[in-house]
């Protein structure tokens, strides 16, 4: 049985902007707050305009005996909850939307190795392709004005740049080490 007390406190805070059981004259006095909770002593300030349906819902939530409190199902059918509820959020619409064919598999039959092979193949340009500057295939990527590409400037002439970024290197390292296997269980 789900307890809705905390839902009521949250609703009250959203509507009023204060906690329901704090003493308005002494909100930091924890003992008074506990006493007000035990005696279910709360009130909605006059300056806060809340409908009768909402007041009645809060009164059904803030009940000392949990067995006598309104349930989630009853809340979902309460007039205040249903008022202006979009049709697609009704229980009937949700049930229809989430109804699935359980016979269809919901996962891939491919292994991680097969997926990684596909990714590697996708990264390799076709052999018949002509290298094009700007797409990472040309051996020397120079701009029209003769300047070198950003990669050359970033790594300098002396540094080796193998065209692989830090992410690619990390993925290969993790894959080679087998550290990802625990994620598959």
What are the sequence ranges of the domains in the chain? 5-98, 112-184
Burial class (CB in 10 A: 0-12, 13-18, 19+), 44: middle
Distance CA 162, CA 123 (A): 14
pLDDT in tens, 110-169: 888 888 898 888 888 777 656 555 555 555 545 555 555 555 455 555 455 556 677 777
Question: Is the pLDDT at 44 greater than 90, yes or no?
Answer: yes
CATH topology of domain 5-98: Transferase(Phosphotransferase); domain 1 (1.10.510)
């Amino acid at each position: 049985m789900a307890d809705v007390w905390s839902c009521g406190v949250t609703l009250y805070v959203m509507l009023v902007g204060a906690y329901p059981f704090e003493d308005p004259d002494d909100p930091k006095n924890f003992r008074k707050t506990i006493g007000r909770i035990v005696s279910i002593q709360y009130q909605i300030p006059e300056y806060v305009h809340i409908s009768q349906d909402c007041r009645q819902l809060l009164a059904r939530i803030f009940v000392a005996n949990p067995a006598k409190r309104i349930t989630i199902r009853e809340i979902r059918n309460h007039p205040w909850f249903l008022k202006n509820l979009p049709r697609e959020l009704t229980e009937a619409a949700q049930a229809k939307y989430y109804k699935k064919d359980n016979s269809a598999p919901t996962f891939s039959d491919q292994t991680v190795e097969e997926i990684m092979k596909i990714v590697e193949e996708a990264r390799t340009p076709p052999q018949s392709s002509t290298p094009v500057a700007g797409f990472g295939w040309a051996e020397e990527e120079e701009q029209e004005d003769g300047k070198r590409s950003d990669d050359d400037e970033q790594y300098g002439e002396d540094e080796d740049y193998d065209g692989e970024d830090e992410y690619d290197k990390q993925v290969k390292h993790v894959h080679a080490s087998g550290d990802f296997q625990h994620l598959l269980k």
